[in-house]
Chain A
């Protein structure tokens, strides 16, 4: 016999779908199937069932082989590394629940470390823009029930957030959007003809790296000022048509992704997009929302901001929090050779960072906490496998619209495995002893 766990939250992307159903064996030890999830979400659950999973911490030996050690030994090693470093970096946190993030921040404060999450290579620029000019935003529920003008700028939800469109932005029939996708206009701004762009009522194929110019042209058009004939590859008439469409809707929203946050212009692109949103509110209701990637990257920002005042790239080395991406951000810290130890959890900089930064991780003392074998675990001195968050343990996470959702535990982790939080608590207690603050 099998049993079905309902209302399961998907711990993969920032859409944080909360309607999954998972069938498990009666003893609650094995997942048999996942319903309602998209392909990548389902894979996250099924992947945890892999038979060749690493279940014990492993220490890399001088000859490159790995030796199994106990969690106690791993916690000792990690605590010694963090407590002994002059400037340790604690990076990742985006696939970790808020409870574990909070314990991690306690360790960072005790060791006077730098703490950073994956926003550093993703929506960190968004956070800078928000600090510069604010953010007129809303929840995904409001989008579902009210939005009739949807703009996807530099993002491709068809592949990156597969159920975003069916649950919130395009297809659902909401309170004031009873005709589903027929009551919505879709504009996609992307230099590529993506699958999302193929669905659009209007696709603006912006010249790569000129989003800032196009957004500026939108603002000029909103104010009915003079425009050049072509901006960023888009004819003036098309820009005016798009702006007219945006002004005419009852509720519009700009969703944006890494196509604008990490291309030329970076935080300024978002700054200008927020300004467009603000300008449009002179005519109708308009909102803007970042398409956050990792399931709990938003939560990491929330917990960091709540505890230290800044949402990412926090430097605690002087005993008080400081923040200035460019100085305190992970890639800069690594590339400039500013740190002497790296602790990575719930993220894979080995796959996401420039190779120059990854090399630096391999040159200092390093610990990687991750259920999987990843490029990061491969270059780290110690790999600590843990239970899958949102599958083998619950915990709090924040959806891309800053709505907190409690995840559900679906199955037990393999015998003897710890969760992120349990391992971090072990490290925290040891660090406090080493630093004499226990």
Chain B
């Protein structure tokens, strides 16, 4: 795998939209060609080279290309958007839409990310060492398909509306989440090691949510069924098992009603 390193040298006055910071775009290009890729500051179109110093070599394909992003990119949006393969490492924190619509490859952010990361993610892996914002792995506005595949790991906390309309894939949040986790979910699995204040899995049709900590206010549409033992990361613990949302529509499979499953550690 070849590595391209881009380092922020002229931070934007406003915010930068840089969806071309993506292995699919860098692959097969020389550093000079990469420097010519477009970025957008408000309504002004300019080039990546105007803001970033670019070094190293890109691979022939996205699979063979790794991008390391250095410097302050807190005001850069869309890093890794639509990436399908390869790797991105952001050394610090970054802004909105990190890894949005990604379908493959691996993206690692060493700091925090803001809202709309992994919007409608289809595959690949997103690792956030810090905190994530709102709408992680959620659907784009008006769409009914959120994250459908791949894996997300957040080592810190995440915001509200995480996994909204999620249909597949897996998400682990080591810290706490805010309200509206897995709203409208129709599949997938979310594990929260910390607490959730409430509105968990409202309007959920199908899927799985596991909460290790507390839920301040339980949705009335979730009905307690039984206690179960679950094995997570090699250790087994007891969880209260709820099904729901009983106020929402549900499919029947083999004559059985299919509900969303919510587990809370006892």
Contact = CB atoms under 8 A, between A and B. Distances in A.
Interface of A: 85-87, 111-113, 128, 131-132, 210, 212-213, 216-220, 222-223, 225-228, 231, 264-265, 268, 271-272, 275, 316-319, 323-327, 336-340
B199 interface: yes
Contact of A87 (B42, B142, B144, B248): B42
* Residue of B40, B134, B142, B180 ringed by the most chain A CB atoms within 10 A: B142
Given A317-B42, A324-B140, A324-B141, A212 B199 contact: yes
What size tier do the contact residues of chain B reach?
A: 35 or more
B199 A268 contact: yes
Contact of A268 (B14, B41, B202): B202
A213 B217 contact: yes
Interface string B7-32: 00000011101000000000000000
Contacts of A265: 179-180, 199
Contacts of B220: 213, 216-217, 220, 227-228, 231
A410 to B, nearest CB: 40
B141 A128 contact: yes
B144 A210 contact: no
A132 B142 contact: yes
A82 to B, nearest CB: 11
Contacts of B40: 317-318
Contacts, number: 107
Contact of B42 (A212, A223, A340): A340
B165 to A, nearest CB: 8
Nearest to A265: B199
A181 to B, nearest CB: 31
Contacts of A324: 116, 140-141
A325 B183 contact: no
Contacts of B203: 216, 268, 271-272, 275
B202 A216 contact: yes
Given A213-B217, A226-B223, A336-B15, A327 B96 contact: yes
6 contacts: A87-B42, A128-B142, A131-B142, A213-B220, A318-B43, A326-B135
Contacts of B142: 128, 131-132
A286 to B, nearest CB: 16
Given A226-B223, A271-B203, A340-B13, A220 B246 contact: yes
A112 B41 CA distance: 12
Give chain B's interface secondary structure class.
Answer: loop
Interface string B195-229: 00011001100000000000001111101000000
A113 B96 CA distance: 19
A271 B42 CA distance: 32
A86 B14 contact: yes
A369 to B, nearest CB: 22
B125 to A, nearest CB: 24
B144 A326 contact: no
A48 B40 CA distance: 44
A225 B223 contact: yes
Contacts of A210: 217
A222 B247 CA distance: 8
Chain A residues touching B, majority SS:
loop
A113 B142 CA distance: 23
B115 interface: yes
Interface of B: 13-15, 17, 40-44, 77, 96-97, 115-116, 134-135, 140-142, 144, 179-180, 183-184, 198-199, 202-203, 217-221, 223, 245-248
B23 to A, nearest CB: 23
B51 to A, nearest CB: 14
Give 8 closest A-B pairs by Cβ, nearest first: A219-B247, A86-B42, A87-B42, A112-B43, A131-B142, A225-B246, A220-B247, A217-B220
Nearest to A227: B220
A125 to B, nearest CB: 12
A225 B247 contact: yes
Nearest to B180: A268
Contacts of B116: 324, 326-327
Nearest to A264: B179
A164 to B, nearest CB: 29
Contact of B14 (A87, A112, A228, A319): A87
Given A268-B203, A337-B14, 16 more contacts: A87-B43, A111-B43, A128-B141, A212-B202, A213-B199, A216-B247, A223-B246, A226-B246, A265-B179, A265-B180, A265-B199, A316-B43, A324-B141, A325-B141, A326-B135, A340-B42
A324 B97 CA distance: 11
Nearest to A225: B246
A111 to B, nearest CB: 7
A223 B257 CA distance: 14
Nearest to A228: B220
A380 B86 CA distance: 49
Contacts of B15: 336, 338
A52 to B, nearest CB: 39
A9 B121 CA distance: 49
Contacts of A212: 199, 202
A219 B221 contact: yes
Contacts of B198: 213
Nearest to B96: A327
A85 B141 contact: no
A316 B221 CA distance: 41
A317 to B, nearest CB: 4
A113 B43 CA distance: 8
Contacts of A217: 220-221, 247
